[in-house]
């Protein structure tokens, strides 16, 4: 098992998309963890004399329109990003697995009803679901987590369902049932492990949607509370001074962009790493391009 895991990770690291995703997400996680015990300045400190400061010492990324240190705001905002991404991933996993199992492993009547329900729910965009929930219960990080979890959990259930049905028809499932395993034992020992690669790829994409949704909802006032550190909230505050100090807008925008890009590229890297056939095909294509380049040279 350890050898297989090592091979899987080595394929992921060998992919430029996977390597970029791992590095960027590791930096975000470290910033979030460090901000729990240390930040360059107090996030609530306001220094009017240092307003609109450029990068330098002691404000490495400059200051915003209130004189707050931008590096400190980025570090504390990373905590919100990690919380939303992980929370949405957990909710998406629970909902996705539940819907996939109900729409693939239940009797035909229930299965068809769940499939129809999934098709209906997929039609609702994640941001629309979040805004509907926020209009009832008010804007908060939990609204973003639940909305993205529901929205992407439905998509994950839809994608995972045919994979479960495919694995369910395999010979080793028939053998497992013949050996006396119960339905739950077959599910946990054989079905879920075999669809896990597809599920993990979808999970990484759902985390990217969660980060983008939190930033967008916080920007619109439906996400994090004013007292919560958030890149979306920071972007909303700094864009008022874009003509005076455009660099202040760059940092939160860049942080959001890189994090979402890293999560999406990590999903691409995971898809390639967990599908040896796809990885082999891409290696053949790269080798053919190199040979073609040498021939022209």
Q: Are 78 and 136 in contact (CB under 8 A)?
A: no
Q: Tens digit of pLDDT for each residue in 133-173?
A: 777 777 778 888 888 888 888 888 888 888 888 888 888 88
CATH of 15-44+57-296, one of 1.10.600.10, 3.40.250.10, 1.10.3720.10, 3.50.50.60: 1.10.3720.10
pLDDT at 278 over 80: no
Residue tagged 């972007």 (tokens): 235
How far apart CA 174 and CA 172 sit, in angstroms, is 5
| Domain ranges within the chain, ordered by starting residue | 15-44+57-296
Q: Tens digit of pLDDT for each residue in 213-231?
A: 888 888 777 777 767 788 9
pLDDT at 5 over 50: no
Rounded to two decimals, the pTM is 0.82
pLDDT of residue 118: 84
- Name the token pair of 123: 């039609």
How large is the average pLDDT for residues 60-84? 92
- Name the token pair of 128: 């629309």
Q: What is the mean pLDDT of the chain?
A: 83
pLDDT of residue 1: 42
pLDDT of residue 281: 56
With 0-12 CB in 10 A as exposed, 13-18 as middle and 19+ as buried, what is 253? middle
Q: Tens digit of pLDDT for each residue in 24-62?
A: 999 999 999 999 999 999 988 888 888 888 899 888 999
Q: Are 109 and 124 in contact (CB under 8 A)?
A: no
How large is the average pLDDT for residues 236-252? 87
Q: Percentage of the chain with pLDDT > 70?
A: 90
Q: Are 124 and 151 in contact (CB under 8 A)?
A: yes
pLDDT of residue 277: 57
């Amino acid at each position: 098992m350890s050898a297989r895991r090592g091979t899987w990770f080595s394929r992921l690291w060998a992919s430029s998309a996977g390597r970029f995703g791992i590095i960027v997400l590791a930096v975000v996680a470290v910033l979030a963890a460090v901000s729990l015990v240390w930040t360059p300045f107090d996030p609530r400190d306001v220094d009017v004399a240092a307003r609109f400061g450029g990068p330098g010492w002691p404000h490495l990324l400059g200051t915003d329109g209130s004189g707050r240190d931008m590096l400190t705001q980025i570090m504390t905002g990373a905590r919100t990003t990690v919380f939303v991404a992980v929370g949405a991933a957990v909710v998406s996993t629970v909902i996705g697995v539940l819907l996939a199992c109900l729409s693939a492993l239940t009797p035909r009547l229930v299965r068809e009803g769940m499939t129809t329900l999934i098709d209906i729910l997929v039609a609702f965009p994640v941001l629309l679901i979040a805004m509907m929930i926020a209009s009832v219960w008010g804007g908060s990080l939990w609204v973003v987590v639940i909305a993205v979890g529901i929205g992407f959990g439905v998509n994950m259930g839809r994608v995972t369902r045919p994979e479960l049905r495919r694995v369910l028809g395999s010979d080793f499932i028939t053998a497992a049932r013949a050996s006396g395993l119960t339905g739950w034992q077959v599910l946990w020992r054989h079905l879920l492990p075999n669809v896990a690669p597809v599920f993990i790829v979808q999970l990484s994409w759902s985390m990217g949607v969660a980060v983008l949704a939190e930033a967008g909802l916080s920007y619109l006032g439906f996400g994090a509370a004013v007292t919560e550190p958030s890149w979306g909230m920071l972007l909303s505050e700094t864009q008022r001074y874009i003509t005076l100090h455009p660099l202040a807008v760059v940092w939160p925008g860049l942080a959001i962009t890189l994090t979402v890009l890293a999560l999406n590229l990590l999903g691409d890297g995971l898809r390639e790493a967990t599908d040896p056939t796809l990885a082999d095909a891409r290696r053949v294509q790269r080798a053919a391009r190199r040979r073609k380049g040498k021939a022209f040279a």
